[in-house]
Amino acid sequence: MHVAVITGASSGIGLATAKMFVEAGIAVVGVARDAGKLAAMERALAGGPAPVATLAVDVRDDDAPRRAVDLAVERFGRLDHLVNNAGIGSPKPVHETDDETLDYFLDVMLRSPFRFCREALRVLATPGTIVNVSSTYALLGGLRGGAYSAAKGGINALTTHLACQYGSTGIRTNAVAPGVVATPMTMGRMDDERFRRMNVDMTPSTRMGLAEDVAQAIFFLSSPASAWINGQVLAVDGGWSTTKFLTEEALSAERRPVTPDWSHSGRPRGEGAG
């Protein structure tokens, strides 16, 4: 029986991933801060094809990676998969971000995954997998990304390094970069018209993304079906990051006029040299 450690496992993408792993017969060590939510996860997954253990801890704690990995080995005898999913949302642009907020975002979404990877490498079986949860905001310049974009960009670089350094040992490392999906972290922001239009109106899909969509990608990258995939960042975003799509509503919206700027090159801004 394979064993996975999943951070941020009590809700959203982490919970959907834990459920998918358990249903596939993979034991799960779920890591999150909220003991009550973890208990609910255990109850929901009880009786499944594989067992579940939980650890209520802040992933920023110095001993969190060691405790999670040790729990996997002590309870289930091994560790085959690590999913670094824990994250936070609602970032601010750089000029609005103080040092405390910067440190918090980097600690949760870059320093913590780095340390969980380092600890997991100590015992990870071969073949084994690491999947880091990045973001489309690390692929494109997302508005208001700030420290969030910086942390997720670091995750992408960490992923490619791990793939290069440890791929020859049988440990594959990949990342998924979700767009905005329906999770407790994002649903409240859908009441913001600007946020909704920036995401929903620019995604060429007939529905909003679900946590299960991302979990499917994580599961695939953790499975033998992806055995020849290493060092990749897979966008799971309905096409948001790779298209110039706009809904009919957005295309027909009233636009402000654009005044040509002749001040630099003697031709309107954006006009080619041709």
Active-site residue list? 148
d(CA 66, CA 89): 26
Question: CA separation (Å) from 178 to 36, 114, 240, 263?
Answer: 26, 19, 10, 40
Instruction: Report the run of H or E that residue 84 belongs to, with start and end.
Output: strand 81-84
Are the C-beta atoms of 28 and 21 separated by less than 8 Å?
yes
Tokens of 180: 């905005």
Instruction: Report the run of H or E that residue 198 belongs to, with start and end.
Output: helix 193-199
Tokens of 39: 């208990």
Instruction: Report the run of H or E that residue 103 belongs to, with start and end.
Output: helix 99-106
Question: Are β-strands 27-32 and 52-56 bridged in parallel, bridged antiparallel, or unpaired?
Answer: parallel
Question: CA separation (Å) from 19 to 3, 58, 177?
Answer: 13, 21, 20
CB atoms within 10 A of CB 160: 16
Q: Which residues pair with 46 in a beta bridge?
A: none
Quick one: which of 141, 146, 151 has its CA closest to 113? 151
Quick one: which of 164, 78, 169, 63 has its CA closest to 115? 63
